[in-house]
Every structure is written in C-alpha cells, then in structure tokens.
Amino acid sequence: MKIFEANITCKVVEFLKESLKNIVLTGAANQMLYNQFGILHSFENDDELSHLKEQLSIKSDAASEPDRVGYGDFQTNADLSDKVAVHLITQKISPDIIIEPTCGKGAFILASLKRFTQLKAVYGIEIYKPYVWECKFGIMDFFLDNPQANKPDIVIFHSNVFDFNFNQIREKHAAQNILIIGNLPWVTNSKLGCLDSENLPKKTNSKNYKGLDAITGKGNFDIAEYITTSLIDTFQETQMTVALLVKNTVIKNIVFDQSKSKRKISEIRKYCINSKKEFNVSVEASLFYCKMQSSPEFDCIEFDFYSKTQPIKKLGWTGQKFVSNIDAYLYTKNIDGESPFVWRQGLKHDCSAVMELERVKGHYTNGLNEEFVLESDLVYGMLKSSDLKNTVINQPRKFTLVTQKNIGQETNCIKRIYPDTYRYLFTHKAYFDARKSIIYNNRPSFSIFGIGDYSFAPYKTAISGLYKTFHFTLVLPFEEKPVMLDDTCYFIGFDKIEFAVYSLLLLNSKECMLFLKSVTFPDAKRTFTKDILMRIDLFELAKSYSEQERQNDLIKLNETYGLHLTLELWDSFIAKMRPAKSSQPTLEFG
C-alpha cells in the first residue's frame, strides 16, 4: 500500500497509527520516531504530521508513478545492495558514518543498517519526496523486525543533492570512517537536454566549464560524474571510502581526469555488474570503489562483481597514454606509432532518403520508394558499417550518387553531362537544402563530404567505426568501379590489391587486435576513430609478422574467397611503408 505516494508495509502503518494516535505536536512525534528508529527530523512541520495521520486512516495504493526519466531513476534491488555491503565487509570496510547521496527508496541504507553493525550516523539525500518517505518507512520496518539492531542517528534529507552542503557532515565527522555508498542517477546532460530537465548543478568548475550554460552546451556532462567528483573533492582529506554504482563511462572519465586533477584517491576498482539483470537497462555499469586520503593513483583494476576473484584487467594511465588494458598495451606498445597510410572516413551526405539507392532490374529505388533511371557514371556501390561483416566484400548491397570528386567542386556540369541524374537531384533539391549541418552552407548544390582522390582508390581496407567488432574488411571494386564507404566507416585505399590484402592481414593479426583492444573503450560512441587507427604503425607490426604466419593467413584467405594472390610484392609493400619511419610525409595511398 502507499502513503505519501510511498510504499509502506502494514506493519509500519499499524505501528504509526498506534504510536501517533495521542501525539499532536511535531516535536513529540519526531522524538518518538528518533527513540524508536534513530530517525531525526522525520516530520518537517505540523502539516506533514497531520497529513500522515489522515493518510493512515485512508488505505490507498492508487498512486501512479510519475515520469522520472530526468532523474535517472533506477532503484537498486535489495539483493544487489546487500551484496555490495557484504563485499565491502570482505574489504575490511567498517564505517562509522554512511552517506547515500541520492538514496531513493533506501536500498543501500537498509543494507548498511543490516550489515554495518558499528554505524553511528546515516545520512541520506533524495530529491523526490515519496522516496524520502518510503526510505523512512523502510527503516521503521527494519527496526520493527530487528528491535535489537544497532541504531545509529539517521537523517533522510528531502533535498536536491546539488544544493546540499556536504561540508557540514565532513566537519562533524572529520575523524571518523565515512563510507559513501549508493547508486547515482543514470543520466547524461545530453539526455537531460532532450528532456528539458533542470536536474543539473547551478554552477560548477567541473572540467573548467563556466556555469550552467556552458555545462548545458557540453553534450556529455554526466550528473553522476559530477556528484562523484564533487564528493571526492569535498572528502579527499578524510578517511573515506567510495562505493557507488555508476555507468562505466563515469569511472573511465574519473580515471582519465586523474592526470590533471590528481585527486587523492587510491585502490581504484571497478566491479562490473550485469545492468540488464539488475536494472533491465542496456548500459554498462559498475560499482566504483576507491579510498581517500592517499597519494593519487592513475589506474583502475576491473573485476566481475559476481565472482570478484581474478582481476579482468587494469585501465588507466601508463606513462603518457590512457588505455583500456594496461598489460595488453605494454605487450603491444611497439606498434603504437604512426600509420604509414592515411586513414580516411567515408562519404557523408546527410541525405539518405535520396542518396541511398538500391538497384532493381536496371532501375534504381530510393528511401522514398520512388523508382527512377540514372546514368551509371555517378552511381557507385556503397557499404555501410553493418555491411562490413565479412573479410572480403566484392558486391555492395546499396549504391550512392557521387556528385563531386573533391570537396567544394562545382556541380553545375551534372546538368549538361548527366541529364537524368540532374533531374533526379533537382527534383529532390529540397531534401539537400534541408540538411541541418552548417558544413553544407554556401556550398554547391548536392554537395557531399568525405570525398577526394582517396575515395576512388580501387582496393580498400576498411573497418566500421560504430561496431565493436575488431575485424577489418577488404573492399573490392564492383563493375570495375571503386566501392564507396559511408561516414560511419574508416579505410585506407590502395591501387594494388596485394597491398590492400597485406595491410588486411597485418590489421587482422593477433598483435594488432590486442593493441586495438587495449586502446579502445567499449562504451565510446565510436569504438574506432581516425585518431586510433592512425596510431597503428603497420611497418613496425610487419616486423613481428613472420613469413610463415603471412603464408598461412594468405592461403586461408585465398581459399575462402577464391583469390589467387601471392606474397611476391611483400618487400615492395614494406619498402612503401618504410619512409614514414624516417619521418617522410605519410602516403595518401599505396
């Protein structure tokens, strides 16, 4: 049943009915609840007390939950919060003081009352009043069931965490062991922007953003990251432990910032949870653990929360590099250099309804389900990230119109040379003109980007930037024309098929995969970027790729895809790459 829109057990209802029936003053009611449960300031005023008494006499369970997306509301289940508390005990954490910065219905407060028997004070902060009550009702229920349990002083503040003054707690408990435990809101500022929410701090110096406007402008400001780092900054001189459930990106960002911020945190740990199972969401999240009042540390050991036995890996700083797996990186760091070939992003048109075409019996169809005829010259096969599944592709699923050979090239000549193509483009001009990106402003009609001589290289070695598949693909020409890739893909282009294949073998080698896994982060928007790919020193990689290995790999490729390639040009391929090592300009394509 619900009171104040908060779940409450019958046991607590009966208790409150009975014990409040002769109490009329707020002070007396608060004293009674403090004596019974250790909860301070339960009622903020007389109205709240009389309202509760009124509600106790009307049974209600009809209150519907409002939409709370902007509050990143994912309440922790009792089993998980209990496992976290038990885990902390195995780490010899025995707190005097608990702070739950956004306590919700109080799962972590209840787990702490149950597991930490030395507690002297508990502080919970929560913005949503029904949860404040549900948390208090839960505490009452706990002590009614466990009357002998240790009873710390408990305050559940109805407050916005951004307005809450944590200094008062720090000053009061400076000499005690503090544990910050909980589960912070799971929402980024970009999401809040879409929701038109105001759940943001009023002003901050976090990451040198200036004020709320600046924060709001920053796409990925994360309120959980802000709360965590503010708490660390407030308490870093105290004996504090942090154990907070947050998205993995928050942990990555905190460790990344260590090189500049040098916060006094150590023993940084990340215990990966199964968020689908625990919260029914597909967001990678973990228990973030660290200790304060220590020399700053710059890496974080990752464990599986449920087994906790062997560390999975260590992410963080090694020298000047920030990587996702330090051991794997140290093993492969010799290939962290500069690619001898320039990696390129594919073609960008922002007009898929008109520019993504399918070929049906000599006609073309577009995303508007229209059928039309085009001259073949400007039509090229096109591959998207989702097409790059196989190791070799010789046939595209879709086609596109390549309206320019270089960025900014005039497009008027299309009218004269390719009248059908021009008619098609012109009748859809409104779609091109409606493109929002400013890159298209003051450009010739039907402009595209990510286009240049390199786009017309016949053989390409490509990878999807979006997918987490660590696999490169050889893209072969189709109908004697180079195939284009869209802007979610990256590629290096070659005139000779052998060079494309040799680079493919190197890029798909175990060493390269290990290196890429060590420098990429699965939670990044794009797993692979031009910057990451440009770090692969193929020349260096080739040194540890034995002749036997390349023979075997090439035979396998030839057999699987019906190719007849040899390693005859291997030495000239190596020679082509060598200049980059003696700081010659990088090659556009081989």
Residues that bind ligand SAM (CB under 6 A): 71-76, 100, 102-105, 107-108, 125-128, 131, 160-162, 182-183, 185-186, 199
Cα–Cα dist 49/88, whole Å: 37
Geometric angle at alpha carbon 136, from 134 and 141, rounded to 5°? 90
DSSP 380: E
Geometric angle at alpha carbon 224, from 223 and 225, rounded to 5°? 90
- Of 6 and 500, which CB lies nearer to ligand SAM in the complex structure? 6
Q: Map residue 430 onto helix, strand or coil.
A: helix
Supply the minimum distance, in Å, between the C-beta of residue 52 and ligand SAM.
Answer: 21
Supply the minimum distance, in Å, between the C-beta of residue 164 and ligand SAM.
Answer: 8
Geometric angle at alpha carbon 90, from 87 and 96, rounded to 5°? 85
Minimal CA–CA distance to 573: which of 501, 523, 492?
A: 501
Q: Return the number of other C-beta atoms located less than 10 Å from residue 93's C-beta.
A: 17
- Of 99 and 516, which CB lies nearer to ligand SAM in the complex structure? 99
Q: Which residues contact 313 (CB under 8 A, 6 or more apart)?
A: 301, 302, 324, 325, 326, 327, 328
- Of 98 and 161, which CB lies nearer to ligand SAM in the complex structure? 161
Supply the minimum distance, in Å, between the C-beta of residue 225 and ligand SAM.
Answer: 13
Cα–Cα dist 139/113, whole Å: 9
Q: Return the number of other C-beta atoms located less than 10 Å from residue 493's C-beta.
A: 27
Cα–Cα dist 187/224, whole Å: 7
Supply the minimum distance, in Å, between the C-beta of residue 279 and ligand SAM.
Answer: 8
Minimal CA–CA distance to 388: which of 515, 554, 524, 508?
A: 508
Phi/psi at 486 (5° precision): -85, 180
Q: Map residue 94 onto helix, strand or coil.
A: coil
Cα–Cα dist 195/526, whole Å: 24
- Of 184 and 500, which CB lies nearer to ligand SAM in the complex structure? 184
- Of 53 and 158, which CB lies nearer to ligand SAM in the complex structure? 158
Cα–Cα dist 118/97, whole Å: 9
Residue 579 is encoded by which pair of tokens? 């200049």
Cα–Cα dist 244/101, whole Å: 10
Q: Which residue is nearest to ligand SAM (CB)?
A: 104
Phi/psi at 215 (5° precision): -65, -45
